[in-house]
Homo-oligomer: A and B are copies of this chain.
């Protein structure tokens, strides 16, 4: 199968949906001629023009709120926030407006919008440009939250997200943008709410997402002679495929959650609590472990930055601790 990058997969998903449905439009900072801070939208303005690919001023609250307003009035906007850290500027528009409109209005509104934003550390951009704040969005009823870990998932999930009739926060992984993977030429979509077992195993379940998936897979492969590790990627944190997690936990009896976000208050707690209050509890042979980012802002120095989040070494150590 052909291979394209994660960034290309996202661009294809947007472009295909824009061709398919003219109510879809795309806006954000520097997405036009500049092609986006990470080059995701290079060339799109040439195909779709400046009406449907709109460069905005630096006004995140207005961008997110305008997406909600455009959506509730019949468009299907895709809003790009240049770094996911800046969603915090439009947090009210996301959490108090877009997410709640339908419920507040008694079901009489649809808000089909996608907020795309790159997340994660590893680029030397320090504390205000490197966060993974998915836990915030997952704690807001009315939002769906998607974090793809491969080009294939990115394309299929983004197409579904654009077609979804609800606000979706689509968190792209900076360090994956240039990673290649197999993506079919033919049209496909991936449903929201279905986990993907990225690797089957029988001794231990690791639940992980985003750029941690490939790191965990590497560690799992390296340790394959010692442990048979199942790697479960929920792909969408809301809706969360709790059944898949519980089923895997029952099978292996050991659960580790790995995520890049700061550990305290991270979504790992949700995964742990899902397992701890399920029938899987009775199958557990060991405590349920989390390995998240340290409880610190992301530091600048590359070695500190690398150590602020899970590393292959820390993942291996966590596995050994759990299986000891």
Chain A interfacial positions (CB closer than 8 Å to B)? 61, 85-86, 88-89, 91-92, 95-96, 99-100, 103-104, 126-128, 133, 135-136, 138-142, 238, 240, 261-262, 264-273, 275-278, 281-282, 286-290, 295-297, 299
Q: Which of B89, B140, B264, B299 is within 8 Å of A270, CB to CB?
A: B264
Q: Which of B100, B140, B276, B296 is within 8 Å of A128, CB to CB?
A: B100
Residue pair A297, B142 in contact (C-beta under 8 Å): yes
> Which residue of chain B lies nearest to A286 when distances are taken between CB atoms in the complex?
B281
* Complex interface: chain B residues within 8 A of A269 (CB): 267-273
CB distance from A96 to the nearest CB of B (A): 5
Residue pair A277, B262 in contact (C-beta under 8 Å): no
> Which residue of chain B lies nearest to A132 when distances are taken between CB atoms in the complex?
B139
Residue pair A139, B128 in contact (C-beta under 8 Å): no
6 nearest A-B pairs in the assembled complex, by CB-CB distance: A269-B269, A139-B265, A272-B273, A281-B287, A91-B91, A138-B265
Residue pair A95, B88 in contact (C-beta under 8 Å): yes
Q: How far is the CA of A104 from the CA of B262 in the complex (A)?
A: 16
> Which residue of chain B lies nearest to A128 when distances are taken between CB atoms in the complex?
B96
Interface pairs (29), CB distance under 8 Å: A85-B96, A88-B95, A100-B128, A100-B297, A103-B127, A103-B297, A104-B128, A135-B139, A138-B264, A139-B261, A139-B265, A139-B266, A141-B262, A141-B264, A141-B296, A264-B270, A265-B270, A268-B269, A268-B273, A269-B269, A269-B270, A269-B273, A272-B272, A275-B276, A276-B287, A277-B288, A277-B290, A281-B286, A281-B287
CB distance from A63 to the nearest CB of B (A): 13
* Complex interface: chain B residues within 8 A of A140 (CB): 262, 265
- In the complex, which of the residues A85, A91, A133, A281 has the most CB atoms of chain B within 10 Å of its own CB atom? A91
* Complex interface: chain B residues within 8 A of A288 (CB): 273, 276-277, 281
Q: How far is the CA of A111 from the CA of B285 in the complex (A)?
A: 45
Q: How far is the CA of A277 from the CA of B271 in the complex (A)?
A: 13
Residue pair A104, B89 in contact (C-beta under 8 Å): no
* Complex interface: chain B residues within 8 A of A287 (CB): 276-278, 281-282
* Complex interface: chain B residues within 8 A of A139 (CB): 133, 135-136, 261-262, 264-266
